[in-house]
Structure 1
Amino acid sequence: MFGRVVRQTCTAAGISQQALAYMAGLERSYFGRIERGKNQPTLYVILKVAPALGYEAGALVTLVERAMAEESAL
């Protein structure tokens, strides 16, 4: 779900996967695996991705929690 929320946020902001990976200091291929749900992000990764998206880590996690709740309600 983290990857899905990040992808939606990037799309809405017009940020490419490669640009976000660069801004967060992550390998693009690793970030791609996170977006596809193949890898789960560590706290370290969340703390790097959140500010690259303009969020505090807690706010980004809250978005993920909400998305998970909405999905389970379906």
Structure 2
Amino acid sequence: MHYAVQAAIAGFPDRGHAIEELARTDEGFQSLYEDFAAAQAALVHWERSSSSVREARCAEYRELVRDLAVEIEAELDRNK
């Protein structure tokens, strides 16, 4: 299973089957969960950083992860 699919399922464990199905059939959804996984990875990176911009970047990526999670949930709801 692609790491980005796993990241989406980890964020929505009760909707794993629906995520797997959309991942196979919907290119737009594929892009969305890949962006979600990338944003989560970037957040982890910045959380571990000692850079002077660490806090600002963490805040930006937390917001992006939240926004993408909302989009994923909306897409899952549309495809029930």
Instruction: Report the TM range for the smaller structure's normalisation.
Output: 0.3 to 0.5
- Larger helix share, 1 or 2: 2
- When normalised by structure 1's length, the TM-score is 0.35
**Structure of higher CA gyration radius:** 2
Which structure is richer in relative contact order (CA contacts within 8 A, separation 6 or more)? 1
